[in-house]
């Protein structure tokens, strides 16, 4: 009985030492992980200091120092300052990208929807603390576009979605209002249009240009499940379209 009691005491002591040792080791690793100059907020986001800024062809290109490396990102023209801390998502990485407007090559550049500055983050945090519902961000309200009817001999956007299997691979004509335009990505211009038939928009690639809010008629071939790489997959897209402003 005495021998068994001594064995249990010894086992308990060893277990306690093992747990304590694990805690010390984990703490050491935790301290080591905090030695990076700048911590990345999430795997799909990059955070760092702006070290260079180039404005060209309606875009702001920013070189960002993450503390481990320097990377380039670009979005529509945005006021930035050297030394400012910004965050952006890695939503569209482009390798070996050549900018015609700057006649410059980038080994890698991220095309992003926007840059988020530290000032914006602080404002959002303050608002969340001030309101009991501040952390609940309401979804943006999407309103129907009024007065954009079907073009003669063409389709509405709702019809394109409904009849996509039948229209796949065929040239279609659609009238819509331009809600987004991005130039010279993967050697194409990209635009999104909407009409009065649905809240869905239609994505188009083209060599033409278009202004935001302009009403246009697009004519191009419908394609389904197009994968352009880098996670950019479109279940439905109109490619190489001709764009006519009304």
The answer to whether the CB of 44 falls within 8 A of the CB of 33 is no
Strands (DSSP E) along 66-214, which ranges?
70-76, 85-89, 93-99, 104-111, 116-117, 171-185, 188-194, 202-206
User: Rounded distance, CA 237 to CA 221, Å?
Assistant: 8
pLDDT of 232 reads 67
pLDDT of 11 reads 39
pLDDT of 100 reads 80
Query: Which H/E stretch holds residue 13?
Result: helix 2-33
pLDDT of 222 reads 97
| All domains of the chain in start order, with CATH | 45-130 (2.40.50), 157-245 (2.40.50.140)
Burial degree of 204 (CB within 10 A; 0-12, 13-18, 19+)? buried
* Number of residues that make up the chain: 246
pLDDT of 230 reads 56
pLDDT, averaged in runs of 10, over the chain (246 residues): 42 39 36 40 75 87 93 88 89 82 88 77 44 46 82 96 96 95 86 92 94 95 84 84 95
With H, G, I as helix, E, B as strand and everything else as coil, classify residue 118: helix
Query: Which H/E stretch holds residue 243?
Result: strand 233-245
Dihedral angle sign, alpha carbons of residues 106, 234, 117, 184: positive
Q: How many CB atoms lie within 10 A of CB 219?
A: 18
pLDDT of 140 reads 52
pLDDT of 114 reads 83
pLDDT of 49 reads 93
């Amino acid at each position: 009985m005495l021998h068994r009691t001594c064995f249990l005491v010894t086992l308990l002591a060893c277990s306690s030492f093992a747990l304590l040792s694990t805690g010390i080791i984990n703490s050491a690793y935790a301290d080591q992980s905090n030695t990076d100059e700048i911590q990345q907020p999430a795997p799909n986001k990059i955070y760092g200091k702006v070290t260079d800024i180039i404005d060209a062809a309606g875009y702001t290109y920013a070189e960002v120092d993450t503390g481990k490396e320097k990377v380039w990102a670009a979005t529509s023209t945005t006021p930035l300052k050297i030394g400012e801390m910004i965050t952006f998502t890695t939503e569209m990485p482009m390798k070996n990208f050549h900018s015609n407007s700057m006649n410059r090559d980038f080994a890698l550049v991220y095309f992003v929807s926007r840059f988020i500055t530290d000032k914006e983050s602080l404002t959002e945090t303050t608002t969340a603390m001030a309101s009991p519902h501040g952390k609940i961000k309401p979804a943006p309200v999407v309103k129907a576009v009024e007065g954009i009817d079907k073009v003669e001999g063409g389709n509405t956007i709702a019809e394109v979605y409904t009849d996509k299997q039948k229209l796949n691979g065929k040239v279609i004509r659609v009238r819509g209002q331009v809600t987004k335009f991005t130039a010279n990505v993967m050697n194409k211009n990209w635009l999104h249009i909407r009409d009065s038939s649905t809240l869905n928009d239609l994505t188009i690639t083209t060599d033409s240009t278009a202004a935001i809010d302009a009403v246009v008629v697009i004519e191009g071939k419908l394609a389904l499940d197009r994968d352009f790489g880098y996670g950019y997959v479109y279940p439905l897209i109109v490619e190489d379209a001709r764009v006519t402003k009304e």
